[in-house]
Amino acid sequence: MSYSAESLPNNLAKIVQRFKRRSNPKQKYEQLLWYAKKLPAMAESDKTPDNKVHGCVSQVFITANLEDGKVLYQGDSDAQLVKGLVAFLIEGLNGLTPEEIIQVTPDFIADTGLQVSLTPSRANGFYNIFKMMQKKAMGFHLGTSASS
């Protein structure tokens, strides 16, 4: 079973709803910047080539650890708006099992309405960050360590 927009994991669904309620692109940006401020700092030692998200104009790093069968992500970006996208995804996907993360389809990105507000390269970066997080979850699912 894969998740559709109606059956997203609870935290992700809440965040998508939050963005859906904001019709003004400026409000969506402010929401992203708010998420960026909430994102915990990431250790510089985790900013390695293995954790770098490719296909992003900004520098973006994502780590994943498996604790009690749940994936816990950390991330960072040198661009505040992108950092907000990272925080959005981390808050939406943290604490899920690798299987649950793998089943999420990227349709929810369109449901946020953010692609209208984001430049094409940022919208593509958002998708690449999501795919990297899924790839790390897939590593845990397959029993290979995808974390640093």
Active-site positions?
A: 56
Q: How far apart are CA 101 and CA 94, in angstroms?
A: 9
Q: Which residues pair with 62 in a beta bridge?
A: 75
Q: How far apart are CA 132 and CA 136, in angstroms?
A: 6
State how far the alpha carbon of 5 is from the alpha carbons of 87, 103, 136, in Å.
Answer: 19, 12, 22
Closest by alpha carbon to 123, among 133, 113, 132, 134?
113
Give the pair of three-digit tokens for residue 43: 């250790």
